[in-house]
């Protein structure tokens, strides 16, 4: 198996001075991006020390919603590799 894609985006004051955002895609049962989830806030509240934990929470939330929509990346990867 190859390296898993990061599937996480970080906006570090690019959209606006003093703001930071972390987002992740939500996949449907076909593996298409159906939506996204993100957390935004001022850099004083989403400092670099909290960025790792917030990123992890956003990614886990996106994975949970994706699974609830029928997305099963791990199973499709195993089937492809085994074939």
At 50, is the pLDDT very low, low, confident or very high (cuts 50, 70, 90)?
A: very high
Where helices occur in 1-83 by DSSP H, the ranges are 48-68, 73-82
Q: Which residue has the tokens 């992740």?
A: 24
pLDDT of residue 1: 41
pLDDT in tens, 10-28: 988 888 899 999 999 999 9
Question: 3-class SS at 39?
Answer: strand
Whole-angstrom Cα distance, residue 26 to residue 20? 20
């Amino acid at each position: 198996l190859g390296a898993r894609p990061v599937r996480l985006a970080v906006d570090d004051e690019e959209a606006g001075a003093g703001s930071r955002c972390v987002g992740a895609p939500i996949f449907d049962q076909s593996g298409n991006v159906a939506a996204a989830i993100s957390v935004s806030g001022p850099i004083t509240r989403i400092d670099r020390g909290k960025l790792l934990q917030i990123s992890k929470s956003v990614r886990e939330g996106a994975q949970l919603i994706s699974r609830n929509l029928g997305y099963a990346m791990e199973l499709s990867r195993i089937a492809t590799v085994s074939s």
